Every structure is written in structure tokens, then in C-alpha cells.
Amino acid sequence: MTLFTDHLAETLIVIGLILLAVEILVLGFSTFVLFFVGLAALITGGLMYISLVPATLFGAIGSLAVLTAMLAAVLWRPMKKIQAKTEPKEVTSDLIGYRFYLPQALNPGDSLTYRYSGVNWTVRTREPLMAKQEVEVTKVSVGELEVRAAIGE
């Protein structure tokens, strides 16, 4: 315990770096709590190192609490905007381009069940298709295949 209290500024800097590394590298900015506390620990350690904050446990806890609250109040919205910038990605699958013959006719708005690779898929289309017609998968979502009439080879 004396090692911790004798080198409180350095300990806080190391703790801050560890918290930031966990938040950024492991969690990927999924929660900002570790980011704010880690940043506050780095700042508190720096302020203790240059003697602007007393190097006591009470000074460390007080400074950490105040700085964490201030950083959260100031940085919450910008961090939330950074986190919200995600573009929806179209699902890619090895099934796209897969061809098979429809067991029965299929019209837009209707669906049928097709068993492939041990899974019962719901098949949908945007164009009328006849029974025994060769179709090609154009889109895959959970348990669902969208197909169109197969064109040539």
C-alpha cells in the first residue's frame, strides 16, 4: 500500500492508461464510462505530478470525481455523435447467386418454404415466377431468400 501512496501520481497515470486501452481496444467505445474515468485519472496524475493537486488519497478521489463529471458533461454529446456514425451494411452471403428450381409458382407478396442445407428458408420474390422455373438468390436475410428468374449461364 505504501508503494501506491508514495507514487500516487504515477499510479493514477498507469491506471488511466489501462482504462483507456480497455475502453478503446477491447470495448471499442461501447461505453464511455471507462473513457471518462481513464482520462480523469491521467489528468489527475498529471496535476499531482506538477503539484497542482495534493498527492493524497482524498485529493485523488476528489479530483477524479470532479474531473470525471466535468469530462462526461462536456464530451458526452460529441462522443455519442462519433458512436452513432455507422452505415448499414448489406448482408453478403455465399448463397447470393445460388440457383435452384421452384417447387411451385410464386407471386410477389407471397412466400413459400424451400429446404436447403438442412434449413427451411422462406422464399420471396418481386416478380411472378412459375413452378419448376430456375431462380437465382439475390438477397439473403435471416431465414429468408429473395429470388428472381435465373438469366442464362
Residue ranges covered by each domain of the chain = 2-84, 99-149
- Looking at every residue in the chain, the average pLDDT score rounds to 85
Q: Regarding the domain with residue range 99-149, which homologous superfamily does it belong to in the CATH classification?
A: Nucleic acid-binding proteins (2.40.50.140)
Report pTM: 0.52
Contact criterion met (CB below 8 Å) for 65 and 57: no
Largest CA distance in the chain: 82
Encoded amino acid at 47, one letter: L
Cross-strand pairs, 129: 106
- 50-64 tens-digit pLDDT: 889 888 888 888 999
The pLDDT of 117-144, averaged and rounded, is 91
148 touches 133 (CB < 8 A): no
Distance CA 56, CA 6 (A): 9
Torsion 46-52-55-60 (CA) sign? negative
Contact call for residues 36 and 71 (beta carbons, < 8 A)? yes
Task: Of 18-32, 42-56, 58-72, 106-120, give the lowest mean pLDDT range.
Answer: 18-32
- What are the b/e assignments for 44-69, b being 16+ CB within 10 Å? bbebbeeeebebeeebbeebbeebbe
pLDDT tens-digit profile of 77-116? Answer: 887 777 676 677 666 788 889 999 999 999 998 999 999 8
